[in-house]
Amino acid sequence: MLAMHSAAESKARRTNEANSKEETEAPFGLGVVLRLKPNETLFSEGDAAASFYQIKEGVIRSFRMMIDGRRQIISFSQPGDYLGLEWEGDRAMTAEAIIDTAVVSYPRRHLEGRATADVRVQNRMMAVLFGGLHNAQEHLVMLGRQTAMEKLGWFLVRLARSSRMNNGALALPMNRTDIADYLGLSMETVSRGFSLLTREGYIALPDAHQVCIRNFKRLDALARGEVPTAH
Amino acid sequence: MLAMHSAAESKARRTNEANSKEETEAPFGLGVVLRLKPNETLFSEGDAAASFYQIKEGVIRSFRMMIDGRRQIISFSQPGDYLGLEWEGDRAMTAEAIIDTAVVSYPRRHLEGRATADVRVQNRMMAVLFGGLHNAQEHLVMLGRQTAMEKLGWFLVRLARSSRMNNGALALPMNRTDIADYLGLSMETVSRGFSLLTREGYIALPDAHQVCIRNFKRLDALARGEVPTAH
DNA sequence: CGGCTTCTTGAATCTAGTCAAACTGCGTGG
DNA sequence: CCACGCAGTTTGACTAGATTCAAGAAGCCG
């Protein structure tokens, strides 16, 4: 346990399966709390999947990368969300903290044994898996069939639904490149899109990491593709 | 049971949860066989999800549609694949036969009761769900980050891996529009792409519904984004 | 054989991407 | 405290890849 925290850790990129620990009681049994700083890696594509996680605090981006560096973000995980469930074998994606984040880690075998025995654990796991599938399906429609402006509307509507507001504003912890890689766009298109949404009165941007939704109904219509004049 | 099959059934669009029946013994217990003609609907977005299915024969397209008709195909299901598993509530997508298709139908409750009891059923269900998530993730990367030619390569490589060849040729039961709506492209781009792949020696097209893969390795490299000069 | 649907090809348009420059906010150090 | 540097964001100009619209070819069914 000596000198576990190197001076370089604040900019760390290394995989981090053991960090500062705390024991917790939680729905999947006993877990260990891991704390991650911005851009720290929880696990990487190709690692053996020994654990799964629940976010306690913060935000995690999970993504897959192509050999030439193109990146597709699969999900932004928020407090309460589960992450890193794999059936067998290796990680199919990389998970990194976006901001200071705390996750509870459970050993995978912990689940296997209990799932067969405890119906409630089993149901919870099913719910998580079905939820993931449902999200992925909506993500597919968005990526495959929506325009840039619709994608941004979709993103903001989802964000509004999944996170709580701070005196009228939503936190945007991820940067423009993250948003772009989530929506299948370029960083510049995201930025231009936000500017346009602001000009058109959909939203306001107090600063780059905060959004106020001015007209949710209209934004939702945009997200659903009901605004034909959405250049 | 009289006059169940109307004359118009060959072009039917109606939901079809009860059709010609046969009893079968299968891994999820007793099921009923349903037979579908091309373009017949197995279930529709919004229906109550009372059953799930396994494909015995044929191909099914599952998709979601936007109000203005834009369509995203989520999956092409082939013999052996499971389909229509929903956690609770209504169908999130529509499933239609592409060609003459036979599926085994199981009532959903059938599973709920058994899953809690039988570890093997449970594991099978988990495997199906994890498989679906894995597929969806690859689909996301393709839709979000690949070029038209890479998408076509990806599609053909997947097809080659999932279906057996008929004397050197793969069946392409779906039409160009289906492929386009699966890959997030236009029908014309798919057609042009196939022509280009043919000219460049990747594939041959004996006819519109048959492909021969001439150079699998190169096609796979294309699909992975390792061919920079893929206009 | 004729009519219909599906597929292919062409030409023009347009959306989003790329490359590049300027701006902003922030933390550091003089 | 202000200047500097840096990372992230915004904006601009141009380009490219894919879509759209449109016409022609090919296969399929009756």
Residue B46 has pLDDT above 80, yes or no: yes
Mean pLDDT of B193-219: 97
Instruction: Give the pLDDT confidence score for residue A229 in this predicted structure.
Output: 75
All domains of chain A, ordered by start, with CATH? 12-141 (2.60.120.10), 147-223 (1.10.10.10)
Amino acid at A70: R
CB B144 to CB A67 under 8 A?
Answer: no
Q: Mean pLDDT, chain A, as a whole number?
A: 88
Residue A190 near residue A179 (C-beta atoms within 8 A): yes
CA–CA separation, A153 and A155 (whole Å): 5
Q: b or e along A157-176 (b: 16 or more beta carbons within 10 Å of the residue's beta carbon)? A: bbbbeebeeeeebbebbbeb
B127-170: per-residue pLDDT in tens?
999 999 999 999 999 999 999 999 999 999 999 999 988 888 99
More confident residue, B26 or A98: A98
Instruction: Give the pLDDT confidence score for residue B219 in this predicted structure.
Output: 98
Residue A37 Rama label (left phi>0; alpha psi -120 to 50; beta) = beta
CA–CA separation, A79 and A171 (whole Å): 13
H-state helical runs in chain A: 108-117, 119-145, 148-162, 176-183, 187-199, 216-223
Residue A20 has pLDDT above 50, yes or no: no
Contacts 24+ apart (CB under 8 A), A191-196: A193/A148, A193/A149, A193/A151, A193/A152, A194/A152, A196/A149
Residue B180 has pLDDT above 60, yes or no: yes
CA–CA separation, A211 and A209 (whole Å): 7
Helix B176-183 vs helix B187-199: angle between axes, to the nearest 10 degrees? 100
Query: How many other CB atoms sit within 10 Å of the CB of residue B139?
Result: 25
Q: What is the 3-state secondary structure (H, E, C) of A52-103?
A: EEEEEECCEEEEEECCCCCEEEEEEECCCCEECCCCCCECCCEEEECCCEEE
Mean pLDDT of B37-49: 97
Phi (first) and psi of residue B48, to 5 degrees: -70, 140
Residue in chain B closest to A137 (alpha carbons) equals: B74
Strand C proximal residues, B:170-209, Cβ < 7 Å: 175-177, 187-188, 190-192, 194-195, 205, 208-209
Q: Which nucleotide is nearest to B205 (CA to C1')?
A: C7
A92 in contact with chain B, both atoms CB, cutoff 8 A: yes
Residues of B in contact with A93 (CB under 8 A): 137
CA–CA separation, A29 and A23 (whole Å): 10
Instruction: Give the pLDDT confidence score for residue B134 in this predicted structure.
Output: 97
Please report, rounded to a whole number, the percentage of residues in chain A having pLDDT higher than 70.
87
CB B133 to CB A134 under 8 A?
Answer: no
In this predicted structure, which of A119-128, A171-180, B47-56 has the lowest mean pLDDT? A119-128
CA–CA separation, B17 and B51 (whole Å): 9
Amino acid at A227: V
A40-79: per-residue pLDDT in tens?
999 999 999 999 999 999 999 999 999 999 999 999 999 9
Strand D proximal residues, B:2-61, Cβ < 7 Å: none
| B140, B181, B228: residue with CB nearest A139 | B140
